[in-house]
């Protein structure tokens, strides 16, 4: 898929099930591979990013039978059962693969090299190199804190690490390394990042305690295998929720979507903007809260977004920017400097591309202000190699009379193959 053509279309109506959660898919393969025995993963996300994690563990000798895509069997070989990979591990575009793997690889008895695509090579790794080095890891970056990374595995010691960034990838890398230590490893963060690692490690029998922003884990001899069903990804559902809110006459039901409180910011933001969104059928699946989400067209108004709300919606800002471009008034997003180091610099990407559609945008170091108008013009826009920018711009196009083209959209396959096909089912 090289480009997506969108344009003004009729109302979106119907019921869809968004693809499986990306963050949970990565973790399911990792923890299953490290478990003592056979785990089953149902509803794994078949997208490039989690497939990089799956490929990495296969390279380290883990047998993974995915002949039935709905039910993957992972033959875990225990915390110390991985074998040295024969060659470099390519993490593709996936920051989660690279950062979490560093925590695992630091505790092995072999060396490994992690690399990635041109975009991943520009993403900062000092944030995990620093804490893992304090734990005794030997991680070499010839590019001053950027990939590729050479990890010489060895003995690790527990630490108490006060992270200056609220990041689930940093927290998870430390907790995974903590499994290989004798004693208790503690990590604190300035805000509550997504907690899928904590939930899943607890289910695997790890001795993990959570006290608000502080998480501790005891080193262990082993993890229990499990049978997990992965819920739908709220980050993927977000594109359809916003589409339903901004295209007049729309009404969409999204089934089986993860609504983990650390990820739910997008719902809070859109409701605050006046979006008619309701949840039903709330229940728990494999330790994660899940619901059906109903969204219908609404007149949106601007809002200010900062603090914890930024963290709880960290991956949704491309599509929040689109909602803001339609809403009445000026939406200000601040305290969001992390957006500059995502798959692209999302502050700059969204500002550049929305301006091509005639939207007034002001960029700050740590965010942006967007003046909603509802009078956007058709344009040819770029993805910046960023899946969520590509999909957000495609959704923006739905409200514009005339043809909008989003170029370089292959990146959509990192998280959401079949995005346009699913969108087309709603007409």
Catalytic residue annotation? 315
Q: Which is nearer to ligand S3P, 292 or 316 (CB)?
A: 316
Q: How far is CA 370 from CA 99, 309, 328, 376, in A?
A: 32, 17, 10, 13
Q: Exactly one of 168, 381, 394, 426 binds ligand S3P (CB under 6 A); which one?
A: 168
Q: Which is nearer to ligand S3P, 172 or 351 (CB)?
A: 172
CB of 269 to ligand S3P, least distance (A): 16
Joined tokens for residue 171: 């927290």
Q: If we measure between CA atoms, which residue out of 167, 162, 133 comes closest to residue 149?
A: 133
Enumerate residues 82-101 that contact ligand S3P by CB under 6 A.
96
Phi, psi angle pair for 214, to nearest 5°: -115, 130
CB of 100 to ligand S3P, least distance (A): 7
Rounded Cα distance between 60 and 245, Å, is: 45
Rounded Cα distance between 383 and 392, Å, is: 9
Q: Which is nearer to ligand S3P, 94 or 399 (CB)?
A: 94
Per CB under 6 A, which region of 75-83, 145-153, 168-176, 395-403 contacts ligand S3P?
168-176
Per CB under 6 A, which region of 60-68, 142-150, 163-171, 276-284 contacts ligand S3P?
163-171
Joined tokens for residue 327: 């809403």
CB of 147 to ligand S3P, least distance (A): 14
Peptide bond into 187 cis (omega under 30): no
Q: Exactly one of 6, 112, 169, 382 binds ligand S3P (CB under 6 A); which one?
A: 169
Q: Which is nearer to ligand S3P, 117 or 292 (CB)?
A: 117
Q: Which is nearer to ligand S3P, 237 or 314 (CB)?
A: 314
29 binds ligand S3P (CB under 6 A): no
DSSP per-residue codes, 225-262: --EEEPPBPHHHHHHHHHHHHHSTT-EEEEEEEE--TT
CB of 183 to ligand S3P, least distance (A): 25
CB of 314 to ligand S3P, least distance (A): 5
Joined tokens for residue 324: 């803001």
Residue with tokens 């901004």, as numbered in its chain: 246
Enumerate residues 304-323 that contact ligand S3P by CB under 6 A.
314-315
Q: Which is nearer to ligand S3P, 103 or 378 (CB)?
A: 103
331 binds ligand S3P (CB under 6 A): no
SS3 131: helix
Residues 132, 103 contacting (CB under 8 angstroms) = yes
CB of 200 to ligand S3P, least distance (A): 11
Give 358's contacts (C-beta < 8 A, 6+ positions apart).
Answer: 373, 375, 376, 377, 379
Residue ranges that bind ligand S3P, judged by CB under 6 A: 23, 96, 167-169, 172, 193-194, 314-315
């Amino acid at each position: 898929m090289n480009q997506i053509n969108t344009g003004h279309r009729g109302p979106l109506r119907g019921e869809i099930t968004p693809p499986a959660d990306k963050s949970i898919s990565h973790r399911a393969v990792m923890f299953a591979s490290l478990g003592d025995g056979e785990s089953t993963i149902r509803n794994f996300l078949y997208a490039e990013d989690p497939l990089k994690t799956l490929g990495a563990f296969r390279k380290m000798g883990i047998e993974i039978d995915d002949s039935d895509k709905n039910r993957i069997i992972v033959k875990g070989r225990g915390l110390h059962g991985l074998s040295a990979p024969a060659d470099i591990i390519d993490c593709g575009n996936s920051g989660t693969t690279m950062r979490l793997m560093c925590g695992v690889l630091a505790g092995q008895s072999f060396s490994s090299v992690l690399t990635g695509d041109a975009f991943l090579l520009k993403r900062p790794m000092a944030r995990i190199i620093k804490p893992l080095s304090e734990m005794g890891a030997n991680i070499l970056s010839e590019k001053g804190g950027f990939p590729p990374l050479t990890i010489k595995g060895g003995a690790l010691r527990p630490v108490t690490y006060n992270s200056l960034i609220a990041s689930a990838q940093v927290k998870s890398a430390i907790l995974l390394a903590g499994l290989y230590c004798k004693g208790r490893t503690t990590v604190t963060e300035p805000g509550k990042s997504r907690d899928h690692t904590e939930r899943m490690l607890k289910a695997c029998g790890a001795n993990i305690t959570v006290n608000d922003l502080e998480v501790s884990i005891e080193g262990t001899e082993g993890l229990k295998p499990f049978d997990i069903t992965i819920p739908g990804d709220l980050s993927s559902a977000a594109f359809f929720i916003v589409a339903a809110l901004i295209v007049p006459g729309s009404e969409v039901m999204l089934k089986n979507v993860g609504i983990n409180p650390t990820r739910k910011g997008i719902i809070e933001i859109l409701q605050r903007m006046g979006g008619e969104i309701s949840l039903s059928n709330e229940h728990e699946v494999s330790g994660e809260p899940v619901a059906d989400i109903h969204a219908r067209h609404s007149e949106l108004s601007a809002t200010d977004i900062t603090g914890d709300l930024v963290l709880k919606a960290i991956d949704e800002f491309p599509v929040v920017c689109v909602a803001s471009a339609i809403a009445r008034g000026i939406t200000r997003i601040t305290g969001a400097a992390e957006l500059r180091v995502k798959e692209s610099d999302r502050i700059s990407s969204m500002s550049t591309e929305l301006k091509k559609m005639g939207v007034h945008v002001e960029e700050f170091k740590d965010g942006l202000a967007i003046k909603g108008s509802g009078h956007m013009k058709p344009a040819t826009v770029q993805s910046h190699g960023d899946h969520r920018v590509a999909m957000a711009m495609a959704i923006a196009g739905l409200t514009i009379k005339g043809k909008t083209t989003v170029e370089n959209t292959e990146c959509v396959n990192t998280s959401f193959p079949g995005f346009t096909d699913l969108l087309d089912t709603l007409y």
